[in-house]
Structure 1
Amino acid sequence: MAEVQFLGHSCFRLRGRDGTIVCDPYHRSIGLDIGRPTATIVTVSHHHPDHDNAAAIRPLRERVFVVDGPGEYEIGGVLITGVRTFHDQVKGAERGFNTVYIIHLDDLVFCHLGDLGHELTTGQLEEIGSNVDVLFVPVGGGETIGSALASNVISQIEPRFVIPMHYAMGQTNFDPPLAPLEKFISEMGLKEYTAEDKFVINANALPADEEQTRIVILRPVNG
Structure 2
Amino acid sequence: MEISWLGHSCFQLRGKNVTLVTDPFSPQQGSSQGETSQLGKISASIVTVSHNHAGHNNVVAVSGNPHVVKGPGEYEISDVLITGVASYHDDKKGQEYGRNTIYVIHIDDLVICHLGDLGHILQEEQLEEVADADILLVPIGGEHTINATQAAEIISQVEPRVVIPMHYHADGAEIPAPLGKFCREMGVENITAQPRLVVTRSNVPAETQVVVLSPRIA
TM-score over 0.5 (shorter chain): yes
Letter in 2 for 1:91: K
Paired amino acid for 1:154: I
- Residue 186 of structure 1: how far off its partner (Å): 1.9
CA contact 1:139–1:164 (8 Å) conserved in 2: yes
User: 1:206 offset after TM fit, Å?
Assistant: 2.2
Q: Is the 8 A contact 2:9 2:24 kept in 1?
A: yes
Letter in 1 for 2:157: Q
Q: Which amino acid aligns with 1:26?
A: F
Where does the alignment leave 5 or more consecutive residues of structure 2 unmatched? Answer: 32-36
- Give the counterpart of 1:36 among 13, 38, 41: 41
Aligned length: 209
Q: Distance in 1 between matches of 2:120 and 2:177?
A: 17
SS in 2 for 1:88: coil
| Corresponding residue SS for 2:60 | helix
Following superposition, the deviation at residue 193 of structure 1 comes to 2.0
- Does the CA contact (< 8 Å) of 1:5 and 1:12 recur in 2? yes
The whole-number CA distance in structure 2 between the counterparts of 1:155 and 1:69 is 26
Q: Deviations over 1:114-155 (max 9, x none)?
A: 000000111111122x22111000000010000010011111
Q: Unaligned 5+ residue runs, structure 1? A: 172-177
Residues 177-213 of structure 1: CA distance to partner in whole angstroms, max 9, x if unpaired?
A: x9532221222221112111110001122233xx3x1
Deviation of 1:222 (Å)? 3.4
Task: Give the AA of the match of 1:112.
Answer: H
The alignment partner of 1:153 has SS state of helix
Deviation of residue 58 (structure 1)? 0.9
Length-normalised TM-score, structure 1: 0.90
Q: Tell me the equivalent position of 1:136.
A: 137
Contact 2:162/2:205 (<8 A) preserved: no
SS state at 1:182 partner: helix
Q: State the identity %.
A: 52
Q: 1:14 is paired with a residue of what secondary structure?
A: strand
The code of the aligned residue for 2:105 comes to I
Structure 1 contact 13–22 (Cα < 8 Å) conserved:
yes
Q: Is the 8 A contact 2:24 2:39 kept in 1?
A: yes
Q: TM-score, normalised by structure 2?
A: 0.92
Letter of the 1:23 counterpart? T
CA RMSD of aligned residues (A): 1.5
Work out the CA distance in 2 between the residues paired with 1:207 and 1:214: 7
1:192 correspondence with 2:158: no
Match of 2:180 among 179, 182, 202: 182
Alignment of 1:1-223 (within 5 A): 2-30=1-29, 31=31, 32-59=37-64, 63-128=65-130, 130-169=131-170, 180-208=178-206, 211=207, 213-222=208-217
Check whether the contact 2:148–2:178 (CA below 8 A) recurs between aligned residues. Answer: no
